[in-house]
Amino acid sequence: MSKNFYITTPIYYPSAKPHMGHAYSSIVSDVIARFKRLDGYNVDFLTGTDEHGLKIQRAAEEKGIDAKKFCDEISKTFRNLSKTLNLSNTDFIRTTEDRHIKSVQNLWKILEQKDQIYLSKYSGWYSVSDEAFYNDDEVNEKNGINVSTISGSKVEWVEEESYFFKLSKWQNKLLKFYEDNPKFILPVTRRNEVLSFVKSGLKDLSVSRKSFSWGIKVPSNKDHVIYVWLDALTNYISALNYPDTQDIKYKNFWPADVHMIGKDILRFHAVYWPAFLLAADLPPPKRVYGHGWILSGDEKMSKSKGNILDPLEIVDKYGLDCLRFYLLKEVSFGNDGSITQEKLESCINSDLANNFGNLCQRVISFNEKNCNLLVPENVNFEKDDLNLLNKISDNIASIRSYIDNQELSLYTNFIIDCMFQANKYFNDQEPWKKRADVVRLNTIVYVSLEIIRKVSILLNPIIPDTSLKVLDIFNLKQKHISIESIKDNKCLVSNSKLKKIGILFKKIDKND
Ligand code: MSP
């Protein structure tokens, strides 16, 4: 089995500064990347910015700035956000970079050579906000404005010379591909949406624009720029040094294991992208996962609606790990989820401070008073001890499959349940009444420490900083920990010294 793993986030439009929806796509991808790394994989994790097209050109014009300069500035805010969110990405791609332009133009040439592209005329609807073409039956009039029924965004009528990709030819081959790869699109509800869209018939796709210039030129006709989605999707292979398909990076990491995206951009990733790749004789990615939206109230956040939640403000106020944990815990992964400050505060209090924080504090303080901050020796596991320890050790296959199927809520809930069980165990065992029975007292403390170690490792992909703070009690650093080691019920070395523990999470006083 290959031990390489490639995961990507969508590349973000630098038309405005990042919001919580962007942070969400990135954080959930990071959780998977970090888990796979902890599980011994060589992980390539890509994010970046999608800088061409009319949407960006107009945003730059509004500010009266040159498009490239405009992108340079906002792209930087996305790069900084990756740092603020503690993403473990291994690359950050910008579609205005030479490596990408070369890659897109090469893919175009191959599609042309393979007779997949022809010149004709486009007349139809276009949404600049979605950078998408819509059919007549996908457009409605609302308050005197024509809008897409799919996204709700404004559309405009376009008539111009355009190159077309022969998408209609790929309808049956795509259906066969989905059938042969039943987990290509997840979650299943999204797969069904895509299947019915493709079954309803595919029309050839306009893949160039002539009426504006902010994009990658069609190599054989400089009057046209390449459609921004053909440009943007190619980023996933540009970053692997495509067109050099013999390059080690490309060989190791393509096809991608997971393209993590929001459900609004599923059609581009699950229909157009595999069709372009199949047409160019390149393998499609293994998985496209369309997550739900973060809602602000009942609505999707967007610049035009003016209801943006700023991830930086939340990180400043509550701390990064609290935000990361909350997003994982609160949103049932795959569905939409609405986030509020009130729910965030109660999650910090109940799951982080009361459940995890409390477990760590009470076990370590008890150890300090009774075992001198040493990992106890003379331990003898009984049934209750093994029940708790094995809850994690025996479930390693399910834990891995949660991540491999992107069942992030199952993963998170499993951890929360372990913390709860561990607190209950410590209460029920009442080690403070066992001072006369050293072996029993030692065993309870040892088991509790082991569970803290295991839970902290499982939490590492979600809240890396806090997890490392806790693991540091055992003198364990990032490079020492692995998923495999959670199988071991006796990993901690007796008589090794523990460090004291500081406060992990401050409880939020609702009256503050
Ligand atoms: N540039 C394209 C993606 C190209 S990928 C080859 C794009 N950019 S975007 O900036 O508009 O959105 C990027 C991602 O953020 C999408 O996956 C989108 O679903 C996600 N989100 C934007 N708003 C969101 C929420 N309110 N909630 C969750 N994610 C949403 O599309």
94 alpha carbon – ligand 1 mean position (Å): 16
CA atoms within 13 A on the CB side of 277: 23
Comparing CA positions, the residue from 392, 420, 411 lying closest to residue 488 is 392
DSSP letter at 134 equals: E
Per-residue pLDDT, 304: 67
Per-residue pLDDT, 173: 98
**Pairing between strand 258-262 and 4-12?**
parallel
Comparing CA positions, the residue from 357, 371, 488 lying closest to residue 431 is 371
Phi, psi of 298 (to 5 degrees): -105, 5
122 alpha carbon – ligand 1 mean position (Å): 26
Residue to mutate (ligand 1; options 74, 261, 338; most atoms within 8 A of CB):
261
Give 353-388 pLDDT, tens digit per residue: 999 999 999 999 999 999 999 999 999 999 999 999
Dihedral angle of Cα 81, 86, 90, 96, to the nearest 10 degrees: 0
pTM for the complete prediction?
0.96
Per-residue pLDDT, 510: 72
In Å, the largest CA–CA distance within the chain is 89
Could you give the CA distance from residue 31 to residue 260 in angstroms, rounded to a whole number?
A: 11
b vs e for 382-418, b when ≥16 Cβ sit within 10 Å of the residue's Cβ? eeebeebbebbeebeeebeebbbebbbbebbebbbeb
Overall fold of domain 341-487: Isoleucyl-tRNA Synthetase; Domain 1 (1.10.730)
| Ligand 1, atom 25, residue with closest C-alpha | 21
Could you give the CA distance from residue 396 to residue 71 in angstroms, rounded to a whole number?
A: 44
Could you give the CA distance from residue 4 to residue 240 in angstroms, rounded to a whole number?
A: 13
360 alpha carbon – ligand 1 mean position (Å): 37
Six-digit token string for 450: 């082991």
Comparing CA positions, the residue from 228, 236, 239 lying closest to residue 257 is 236
Give 390-413 pLDDT, tens digit per residue: 999 999 999 999 999 999 999 999
**Hunting for tokens 């001890």 — which residue is that?**
385
Phi, psi of 110 (to 5 degrees): -65, -40
The amino acid at 394:
D
DSSP letter at 191 equals: H
Atom of ligand 1 nearest to the CA of 232: 6
Per-residue pLDDT, 362: 96
Residue to mutate (ligand 1; options 20, 24, 271, 277; most atoms within 8 A of CB):
24
Residue segments in the chain with a per-residue pLDDT below the cut of 50: none
Q: Is there a contact between 355 and 419 (Cβ–Cβ < 8 Å)?
A: yes
261 alpha carbon – ligand 1 mean position (Å): 7
